Every structure is written in C-alpha cells, then in structure tokens.
C-alpha cells in the first residue's frame, strides 16, 4: 500500500492513479506477510484488476495495462487451481503478461491519453502493459531460489 501512495504522489497523468491502484490493492492482500502463496498472489492481482477496471473503465483490447494484467491474472488463477509451484506459476504469468503486451501492438487505443490518437496507435506497444510485464518479471526473479541468483556459486 505504501508503494501505491508513492506512485500516486510521483507519477503524473493517467498512469499515476492507475498504478497506484494496482499497488495499493495488491498491498492490501499482502499486508503483514513475508511470503505469499500462489493463491494469495492470485487474490492480490484479482483485486487490483477489478479496482483498475472500475477506476479507469478499461477492458481487455482497449490498449492499456489491462491487456497484460488480465491474462496474467487468468494465468495465476489457473496456477492456483492446479496447485502449480510458485516459480512455475510466476514463469507462466510472465509469459501470459508478455503475450498480452505484445497483442497491444495491433490494437487501437480506446482508453487513456493515447485514445486521442486512435488509429495512429496501431503498430505501437502500450507502455502500461509493458510495466505490468516488468512487474511480474521482478516478482518471478525475486521468487527464484537463492542458488539461482546471478553471481552465486
């Protein structure tokens, strides 16, 4: 939740409040926990996605961060249902988020500031969706066993 407040106070435009919502909502579920299960991660990002959709009115195919976050959440839900180990669940989630991000290249922006450029946005990737990919890559990298950290022997 502190991260959400920091983002809100420092990021401008539409992205600030939307990413603040993502971190604040995810933080509510994680509050006080030092480790998270796949089920808890799923709940974190389900809540974040729901609030972002409510706040920004963005949906899948609007060329926003939702295009990466929605498939990431669906991947987490599937992993939770099948009791997938955390590292594999996060790897699958990164893949799903990346595929959603890459799809934004062919979309017309219908939300955010980019919507004013409409057809001109086709052929360009969405920056917010990219940040979602980075977020899940960081989570995945932090969940790696310490023996796999860069520089360890």
Q: Residue 48 has what pLDDT?
A: 92
User: What b/e sequence results for 66-104 when a residue is b if at least 16 CB atoms lie within 10 Å of its CB, and e otherwise?
Assistant: bbbbbbbbbbbbbbbeeebebeebbbbbbbbbbebbbbb
Within 8 A by CB and 6+ apart from 139, the residues are: 41, 90, 93
DSSP letter at 151 equals: T
Sorted by where each starts, the structural domains of the chain and their CATH numbers stand as: 38-145 (1.25.40.340)
pLDDT tens digits, one per residue of 96-129: 999 999 999 999 999 887 888 889 899 999 989 9
Contact between residue 121 and residue 108 where contact means Cβ atoms under 8 Å apart = yes
Residues 6+ apart with CB under 8 A from 53: 59, 66
pTM: 0.84
Q: Picking from 18-22, 34-38, 140-144, which range would have the lowest pLDDT averaged per residue?
A: 18-22
CA distance 56 to 136: 21
On the question of pLDDT at 11 being above 70, the answer is: no
Cα-based distances in Å from 109 to 29, 32, 45, 81, 119: 31, 38, 23, 33, 8
The DSSP letter of residue 65 is T
DSSP label at residue 126:
-
């Amino acid at each position: 939740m502190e991260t959400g407040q920091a983002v809100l106070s420092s990021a401008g435009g539409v992205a600030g409040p939307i990413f603040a919502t993502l971190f604040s909502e995810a933080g509510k579920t994680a509050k006080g926990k030092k480790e998270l299960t796949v089920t808890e991660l799923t709940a974190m990002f389900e809540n974040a996605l729901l609030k972002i959709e409510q706040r920004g009115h963005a949906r899948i195919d609007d060329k926003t961060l939702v295009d990466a976050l929605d498939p990431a959440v669906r991947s987490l839900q599937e992993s939770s249902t099948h009791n997938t180990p955390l590292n594999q669940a996060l790897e699958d989630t990164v893949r799903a988020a990346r595929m959603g991000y890459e799809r934004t290249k062919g979309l017309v922006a219908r939300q955010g500031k980019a919507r004013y450029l409409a057809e001109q946005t086709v052929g360009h990737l969405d920056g917010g969706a990219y940040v979602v990919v980075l977020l899940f890559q960081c989570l995945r990298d932090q969940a790696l066993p310490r023996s796999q950290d860069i520089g360890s022997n």
